[in-house]
Structure 1
Amino acid sequence: MAEETQKPETVPQAEVVVPEAEKEVSTPPAAAAVVVEGEAEKAVDAEVADAEKIVEQPSFKEETNVVSELPEFQRKAIEELKKLIQDACAKHEFSSPPTPSSPSPAAKEEEKTEEVVVEEEKEQTPATEVAPSPTHVVAAEPPAATTEEEQTPPPVVETKAEEVAPAPAATEIPVAAEAGKEEEKTVETIKETIVEEITPPTVEETTPPTVEVVTPPVEPEEVSIWGIPLLADERTDVILLKFLRARDFKVKEAFTMIRNTVRWRKEFDVDNLLDEDLGNEEYSKVLFTHGFDKEGRIVCYNVFGEFQNKELYQNTFADAEKRKKFLKWLIQFLEKIIRDLDFNPKGINSIVLVNDLKNSPGYGKRDVSKIIDKFLVILQDNYPEFVARQLCINTSWWYVAYYWIYLTVFTPRSKSKFVFASPSKTPETLFKYIAPEHVPVQYGGHSKIGENEFSSADPVTEVIIKPGTKHPIEFAFSEATELVWELRVIGWDVNYGAEFLPEKEGGYTLNISKPKKITLSIDEPVISDSFKVTEAGKVVITIDNQSSKKKKLLYRSKVKVSE
């Protein structure tokens, strides 16, 4: 095939940012590169340190879905895959194969009887020799030669079926000739007896009249995935490219994957699952969507630590029925996200997955890992290339070491989508891919659910404050108005203050917020404040970084017309 003649494309590797404390970089045995973001603990042993020190390489970049912009061998692969799908639809190959029905007891008994009859016939029918039968003739051997003194005829051969009377002596016929005739007659009698006993009676077979059955033409099977009919329009190209990329453009393997996916969707009744009411709003604490990344993709958050809540854990994993319900909810959740994608070749056709590993359930709660593993298998087999990037945040050093081993089974393309970040580097890592106004407050961003003052449409400004320096933020006004702002410093450990300086000479400086030390133990991660301006002047907000590390300041503001 065409794809075999092309040189394989260089696939970017998974990315892990090395913490600042580690300056040495070495290459691990595996081929893919991972970049660990975060500060490694000093007590890490040599093996773990080696696993975290990995050469940094470019991260995953999503390819185009416009067919005309693809290489020739990829365009050819799409056409070959469409032909296979078209032929399969004509043969109804996308339907689940029928389950072979077990024969009824009567049919089994009849089949067994036929086998016994066949075996008996085989035993009666001679292959090379005829087996003796109850009516088989026993004949005496004729004398080798006759003498003149022996005038009596030879002994007559007897059969159990009938007795043969001795022939009268004839003087005109020589004794030897007479014996030969008797012997011929006896042999003929034996043959006739054998034929009568072995040859079954012939039965006249009647051939039933031939009836011509006219079968109506079979319509091609209609197949759709995620509400989009296959081979319908340009949206089909987007779907086919996902399966082809998941199988390195091996057309037959991609076709098998599509066929298995369609069959699985029918067996699991996925399309009807969308409208099913699975209840339990507590699931939304574990898995939810929030905002978009810088490319416009939906961002989905997995918060495994929520299962530390005993009540939630029991309501989700107490029995098989509840575990099955949760798995169905996961699939329903994913299906709803995918249905929001437009599948336009130039549109957004993938999502970003953020895995929060803080307080993740350990080995003591295996029900969680079993369900997650089962869901990941379903995701890998039936939802190819829907996750553009996986950001694993709040990871500990042992988790990075474990996943470094775990990722060896992934393809270089899949590994390049993973990024790991320690707790101290989580906000910074998220901001590389997601704007702060779209990052939830609990992860270092400014996005709050249900807030009214600011929204994701209000951009956040990022500023780096060097160690031992102050950074003022000034807002000048010439008339009465109201200023509203919110800010946060990643890692805090800085002094914050705000004041108003009137433009008029001799005016008094007003302290809006007295300078104070802000630490990580602050209850409110984002400082929100406001000030009503009554005269011309300026509002000055000051961040004083007296620490030995640089800090990242995030803030946004808006001016409201004073009533």
Structure 2
Amino acid sequence: MAEEHKQTTIPIPKEVEKTSNVQILADNSANDAETETKNVVENVVAKEMVEEEEEEVTSEFKVCITENGAEMGSEDDDNNKYPELEMKAMEELKKLIQNAINNHEFTDPPLIQEQVEEEANADHKTIEEETNEESEEATNKVTVDEDGTKTVEAIVETIIVHTSAEKLQNSSAASASLSSVVTSQFEKLQQETDTTTPPSVEEVSIWGVPLLKDERTDTIIWKFLRARDFQVNEAFKMMKSTIKWRKEFKIDELMEEDLGEDLEKVVFMHGYSKEGNPVCYNVFGGFQDKELYKKTFSDEEKREKFLKWRIQFLEKSIRKLDFFTKGVSTIVQVNDLKNSPGPGKWELRQATKQALHLLQDNYPEFVSKQVFINVPWWYVAVNKMIRPFLTQRTTSKFVVAGPSKSAETLFSYIAPEQVPIQYGGLSKGEEFDTKDGATQIIMQPASKETIEFAVTEACNVTWEVRVLGWDVNYGAEFVPNASDAYTIIIQKMKKVGPTQQSIITNTFNIGEPGKVVLSIHNSSSKKKILLYRLKSKPSCD
């Protein structure tokens, strides 16, 4: 088969300009079974956390926050941020929130009336107790001898009857006037409150954003309205329920708890999407570790701790978002199902249900995209049953890819320099970081790619090269501009196997004008994704 040869020439400036040119082409090399799996999964994958159920990352285990809101942060200006009908709904909801704050509906309201009634009832009870005590005291004083018995008894009887009647009359009068006393005391207290101490204003915050204080409220309100299809009363009801749950769950206290670091490799944040969304990775294969699985899900107490850890992780991630008008207030979820525990894990189902009930009602519209990678065969079967319950808006948030297409699927939404090395990217935190942009090239079967870096002055050049799946030949050399100079072999052409190494890094100190030439030969019958980036530093010589 004749080989196609391409050549790319890139001049090296003093500082290499960052680039994020990433265009993914479809890989025709996937076998029929994988293609069929992908097609089926794309039609049946479910977010068992539809807005409210978007927390599932395996069909059995939702570890990531639920809900969508990708449109947030991409609007052009404040005036056009929301359509007219949405603006109207937002204004109506703001009024409901303001009234609720004024009436202390988000917390327990002042109990002035009840306090006055309790005080009045206490006074009435005191009068009755005094009457009974005096009657008993008068009776106990009756001690006479036989000669004076009759006279004394008559006198005492008269005194007791007179005293009892008088107290009873006073008690009845007190009871009759209780209502007027309560009313007068209540009115007096209200007058004192109005003239001396202004009523306290309830302050309500959610996700660290105080409601109705600045423009961030619009973003919060939009999320609740979107989650309830812009039905104002339903959105208001959801918001009140969420605020109540947050107090009962003691979110502010939870933020300060130390819940351990056991799950940091299972759920973690890394990099940003092309739209600027923070990216959360959920690695379910981590639960194949029997020790970790047992430590996390074996009993109710451990599942509760996991739930608290997951909520804490989510809260910390959310509080780093930008709720202002042109900010980014949603995240991208990447759910790695490689080696994920199967659907028969009862403990996993229990944890999923617990998370679902909380996340579906309390974290609306926070996920812009759910990307499922390394999808196993059983995922299709488990999710097939829930497809009829999904809306078009929900399914549009989901992207599903089998093992052979996981990396290129990620590159569609996340630049290679932002993708962790274990998922096919270049992010490994050594010589380069996520700020150093990468270039992506699709190599056709039986083709050659030549990349040239032009050098105009003495400098030190470092570059990274990665071919997904490798199985190609790679070499590097420096060619001076001088006609009588010799080409210097930096890396002798050699075969790089599919499992040998993920990234090749080379550094070369250049003392004269010329060019660095990288050669990659793809002799296989499959397309390859080639990634590379470089940077230069002034030479120390």
Question: What displacement does 1:83 show?
Answer: 1.7
Question: What displacement does 1:40 show?
Answer: 5.0
2:247 aligned partner: 266
Cα distance in 1, alignment partners of residues 409 and 279 from structure 2: 14
Residue of 86, 91, 107 corresponding to 1:74: 86
Residue 242 of structure 1 pairs with residue 219 of structure 2: no
With over 3 angstroms needed to count, the CA separation of the structure-2 counterparts of 1:439 and 1:49, relative to structure 1, is: closer
Counterparts of 1:435-474 in structure 2, within 5 Å, are 435-449=415-429, 451=430, 453-474=431-452
- The 3-state SS of whatever aligns with 2:213 is coil
- Give the letter for the 2:516 counterpart: V
- Give the letter for the 2:351 counterpart: I
With over 3 angstroms needed to count, the CA separation of the structure-2 counterparts of 1:43 and 1:241, relative to structure 1, is: closer
Cα distance in 1, alignment partners of residues 358 and 406 from structure 2: 28
Question: What displacement does 1:289 show?
Answer: 0.4
1:49-74: CA deviation from partner (whole Å, max 9, x where unpaired)? 8735869xxx9961567663222221
- Give the letter for the 1:374 counterpart: Q
With over 3 angstroms needed to count, the CA separation of the structure-2 counterparts of 1:492 and 1:268, relative to structure 1, is: same
Cα distance in 1, alignment partners of residues 258 and 34 from structure 2: 50
Cα distance in 1, alignment partners of residues 318 and 456 from structure 2: 50
- Give the letter for the 1:362 counterpart: G
1:291-324: CA deviation from partner (whole Å, max 9, x where unpaired)? 0001111101001111111222232223332222
Residue 208 of structure 1 pairs with residue 176 of structure 2: yes
Residue 341 of structure 1 pairs with residue 313 of structure 2: no
Residue 490 of structure 1 pairs with residue 468 of structure 2: yes
- The 3-state SS of whatever aligns with 1:552 is strand
- The 3-state SS of whatever aligns with 1:408 is helix
2:71 aligned partner: 62
1:559 aligned partner: 536
- The 3-state SS of whatever aligns with 2:33 is coil
With over 3 angstroms needed to count, the CA separation of the structure-2 counterparts of 1:39 and 1:438, relative to structure 1, is: farther
| Structure of higher CA gyration radius | 1
Residue of 202, 210, 215 corresponding to 1:229: 210
> Which moved further from structure 2: 479-488 or 553-562?
479-488
Cα distance in 2, alignment partners of residues 89 and 60 from structure 1: 26
Counterparts of 1:17-36 in structure 2, within 5 Å, are 20=28
- Give the letter for the 1:503 counterpart: N
1:419 aligned partner: 399
- Give the letter for the 2:220 counterpart: I
1:89 aligned partner: 101
1:321-372: CA deviation from partner (whole Å, max 9, x where unpaired)? 2222221111111111111112101111111111111111113432233223
Cα distance in 2, alignment partners of residues 537 and 422 from structure 1: 43
1:154-180: CA deviation from partner (whole Å, max 9, x where unpaired)? xxxxxxxxxxxxxxxxxxxxxxxxxxx
1:173 aligned partner: none
- The 3-state SS of whatever aligns with 1:296 is coil
- Give the letter for the 1:213 counterpart: Q
- Give the letter for the 1:445 counterpart: G
**Percent sequence identity over matched residues?**
53
Aligned pairs, how many? 417
2:273 aligned partner: 293
Question: What displacement does 1:208 show?
Answer: 2.9
Question: What displacement does 1:486 show?
Answer: 0.6
Q: Contact conserved, 2:470 with 2:498, CA < 8 A, in 1?
A: yes
- Give the letter for the 2:496 counterpart: I
Residue of 549, 552, 563 corresponding to 2:526: 549
Unaligned runs of 5+ in 1: 1-16, 22-37, 98-202
- The 3-state SS of whatever aligns with 2:271 is strand
With over 3 angstroms needed to count, the CA separation of the structure-2 counterparts of 1:73 and 1:297, relative to structure 1, is: same
Q: Contact conserved, 2:297 with 2:351, CA < 8 A, in 1?
A: no
1:17-47: CA deviation from partner (whole Å, max 9, x where unpaired)? 99747xxxxxxxxxxxxxxxx6551796xxx
1:319 aligned partner: 299
Cα distance in 2, alignment partners of residues 222 and 506 from structure 1: 78
Cα distance in 2, alignment partners of residues 355 and 407 from structure 1: 19
With over 3 angstroms needed to count, the CA separation of the structure-2 counterparts of 1:502 and 1:51, relative to structure 1, is: closer
With over 3 angstroms needed to count, the CA separation of the structure-2 counterparts of 1:284 and 1:39, relative to structure 1, is: farther
Question: What displacement does 1:508 show?
Answer: 3.4
Residue 368 of structure 1 pairs with residue 348 of structure 2: yes
Q: Contact conserved, 1:39 with 1:424, CA < 8 A, in 2?
A: no
With over 3 angstroms needed to count, the CA separation of the structure-2 counterparts of 1:549 and 1:227, relative to structure 1, is: same
1:35 aligned partner: none
Q: Contact conserved, 1:19 with 1:40, CA < 8 A, in 2?
A: no
Q: TM-score, normalised by structure 2?
A: 0.71
- The 3-state SS of whatever aligns with 1:432 is helix
With over 3 angstroms needed to count, the CA separation of the structure-2 counterparts of 1:472 and 1:305, relative to structure 1, is: same
Residue 509 of structure 1 pairs with residue 487 of structure 2: yes
Q: Contact conserved, 2:458 with 2:539, CA < 8 A, in 1?
A: yes
Residue 251 of structure 1 pairs with residue 238 of structure 2: no
- Give the letter for the 1:82 counterpart: K
Cα distance in 2, alignment partners of residues 18 and 560 from structure 1: 37
Counterparts of 1:62-141 in structure 2, within 5 Å, are 62=71, 68-69=79-80, 70-95=82-107
With over 3 angstroms needed to count, the CA separation of the structure-2 counterparts of 1:337 and 1:306, relative to structure 1, is: same
- Give the letter for the 1:255 counterpart: F
1:504-547: CA deviation from partner (whole Å, max 9, x where unpaired)? 3454333222222222212x311111122244432211010112
With over 3 angstroms needed to count, the CA separation of the structure-2 counterparts of 1:370 and 1:544, relative to structure 1, is: same
Q: Contact conserved, 1:497 with 1:542, CA < 8 A, in 2?
A: yes
1:530 aligned partner: 507
Q: Contact conserved, 1:437 with 1:455, CA < 8 A, in 2?
A: yes
1:114-167: CA deviation from partner (whole Å, max 9, x where unpaired)? xxxxxxxxxxxxxxxxxxxxxxxxxxxxxxxxxxxxxxxxxxxxxxxxxxxxxx
- The 3-state SS of whatever aligns with 1:275 is coil
Residue of 512, 525, 539 corresponding to 2:516: 539
1:41 aligned partner: 33
- Give the letter for the 1:208 counterpart: A
1:420-473: CA deviation from partner (whole Å, max 9, x where unpaired)? 011111111111111111000000100014x2x111111001112222221111
Residue 480 of structure 1 pairs with residue 458 of structure 2: yes
Q: Contact conserved, 1:60 with 1:413, CA < 8 A, in 2?
A: no
Q: Contact conserved, 1:18 with 1:52, CA < 8 A, in 2?
A: no
Q: Contact conserved, 1:51 with 1:401, CA < 8 A, in 2?
A: no
- The 3-state SS of whatever aligns with 2:306 is helix
- The 3-state SS of whatever aligns with 2:530 is strand
Unaligned runs of 5+ in 2: 1-24, 45-67, 110-167, 194-198
